[in-house]
Structure 1
Amino acid sequence: IGQRNLLNLKVSVDANMTVYEGHNISDQIKAVLLQLDGIEYVIVHVNPTQYHPQCI
């Protein structure tokens, strides 16, 4: 009953991070998003990227 949403997103992380660090960031993002009303599933894909000044 009610609306449930699935979020499927890509997150770019520093290419110099370890896999563990990248997945830790992914887990933190997922935990925050799952606290939002109506969000039932969150899939976070972690992709390495080089640093760009416009990215924070």
Structure 2
Amino acid sequence: MRPRSGRVLAGVCAALADRFGISRGLVRVAFVLFGLFGVGELVYLALWIMIPKAP
């Protein structure tokens, strides 16, 4: 679930970090690196649609 607090944009990185128990900063850095190759943006958008918001 995408959190309503502690998020920067849509909460995708925060949701993934919470789910797998890793640092939110590490997940954000990974998305930036994947974005340099053109994959990160597409994955982020897909996850934004697929991961529901927290109540």
TM score, norm. by length of structure 2:
0.33
Q: Which has the higher contact order (CA 8 A, sep 6+)?
A: 1
Q: Greater strand percent: which structure?
A: 1
Q: Greater helix percent: which structure?
A: 2
TM score, norm. by length of structure 1:
0.32
Answer with 1 or 2: which has the greater Rg: 1
